[in-house]
Amino acid sequence: MRDLLIDSPATLRFSGHETFPLRLLWLKKVYDAVMDGVTAKRTFQEREGIARFGVGKNMAMSMVHWAVTCGVVRDMGGQLEATTLGHLLFNDKDGVDPFLEDPSTVWLMHNALCATTELTTFFYAFNIFPQPLFERPALIKELSDIAAAKGARATPETVKRDVEVLLRSYAPRSTETGEDASEPLLAELGLIRELRHGQFEFVRGPKQSLSQAVFAYALVLYWRKWHADAPTLSVEAITYGIGAPGRVFRLDDESVAFRLAAIGDITGGALVWTDTAGLRQVARREPLDKIEELELLRHAYGTRLAA
């Protein structure tokens, strides 16, 4: 499956985070800085911008990197603007989760980072890497081999740093101090845990804090990206497919089937579950572009979202 990255026209990306994992309030801070209109990206590198955030230049650029890759702001050739999702989540007036207090937002950000190929290490780790138990060198070697096969300009040291950011994002070290000790946003999901020094495990299971609405939202995005012309998707595809909710969220088979059985309720009948003669699948009753995926999120936050 790693040939997907080698053969893909997409550029491999192992940098941009300046070695900093995503922190709790960074997305809100970047959103606030650009919410009123288009803002030059270089603003975050200038003295005034750095002083506003109270961090160094590299950390300020890391904040922008994470806000863009999470889909909170959009980078338009050096100009930044808030996205519809950013406004919906973080607007002080009517945003549904301006201070990232709801786990639904964290699951949304995880899906944004891992369900597409934009961040190579994050995508590979959750979608292609075959080892549920692993050590750093194994993941670094896999990614380095892919970079070499594709002819990418990524040194083994660059890949190593990127893998370290992944692991510190989901399974931070207990020995970290200072700024590094602040809890990374994604750690609360419990998707990767360190079993002993240097050995890690992807945690597969029901995921109680993952709302049905966020699952449905991720399913719609997956369907559009990977199976846009398909009228149905099998439970196997939704559980194990590249970029699928079951794989990205590390859900077990039973949990995926349980969620799909109620998919019609959360989507207003746009998607329906069928189980006939042992063939378990989801069918769509509307064109994918007619399903308002952001409207699905109102169920996650208990309020109606603006169109």
Question: Does residue 194 sit in the same domain as residue 120?
Answer: yes
Per residue of the chain (307 residues), give pLDDT as tens. 778 898 888 899 999 999 999 999 999 999 999 998 888 898 888 877 778 888 899 999 999 999 999 999 999 999 999 999 999 999 999 999 998 999 999 999 999 999 999 999 999 999 999 999 999 999 999 999 999 999 998 999 999 999 999 999 999 976 555 555 467 999 999 999 999 888 999 999 999 999 999 999 999 999 999 999 999 999 999 999 999 999 999 999 999 999 999 999 999 999 999 998 889 999 999 999 999 999 999 888 974 333 3
**Pair 87, 112 in one domain:** no
Let me know if residue 47 belongs to a domain: yes
Q: What is the CATH number of the domain that holds 34?
A: 1.10.10.10
In a domain, 16, yes or no: no
Tell me how far apart the alpha carbons of residues 160 and 20 are, in angstroms, rounded to a whole number: 13
Distances (CA, A) of 187 to 86, 165, 193: 21, 12, 9
227 part of a folded domain: yes
Verify that 223 and 258 share a domain, yes or no. yes
Of residues 129, 163, 109, the one with CA closest to residue 5: 129
Does the residue 130 lie in any domain? yes
In b/e form, how buried is each residue of 160-197, taking b as 16+ CB within 10 angstroms?
bbbbbbbbbbbbbeeeeeeeeeeebbbbebebbeeeee
Domain membership of residue 2 (yes or no) is: no
In a domain, 17, yes or no: no
Residues 104 and 198 in one domain: yes
In CATH, what number is assigned to the domain containing residue 227?
1.10.10
DSSP the chain: -THHHHHSSSPP---SSTTPPPBTTHHHHHHHHHTTS-EEGGGGGSHHHHHHHTS-HHHHHHHHHHHHHTTSEEESSSEEEE-HHHHHHH-TTT-S-TT--SHHHHHHHHHHHHSSSSSHHHHHHHHT---SEEEHHHHHHHHHHHHHHHT-S--HHHHHHHHHHHHHHHS--TT--GGGGSPBGGGGG--EEEEETTEEEE--S--TTS-HHHHHHHHHHHHHHH-TT-SEEEHHHHHHSTT-HHHHTT--HHHHHHHHHTHHHHTTTSEEEEEETTEEEEEESS-GGGS-HHHHTHHHHTSPPP-
Most distant CA pair in the chain: distance in Å? 66
- Final residue of a structural domain among 63, 97, 131: 97
Is residue 131 included in any domain, yes or no? Answer: yes
Q: Is residue 91 part of a domain?
A: yes
Contacts of 291 (CB under 8 A, 6+ apart): 220, 267, 270, 271, 284
Tell whether 79 and 130 lie within a shared domain: no
Beta pairing class for 192-196 and 232-234: unpaired
Question: Are residues 256 and 165 located together in one domain of the fold?
Answer: no
Q: State which residues form the domain around 190.
A: 100-203
How many C-beta atoms surround the C-beta of residue 220 within 10 A?
A: 20
Listed in sequence order, the residues at least 6 apart from 36 whose beta carbon sits closer than 8 Å to its beta carbon are: none
Residue appearing with tokens 């301006």:
98
Q: Do residues 157 and 232 share a domain?
A: no
Looking at the structure of the chain, the number of domains it has is: 3
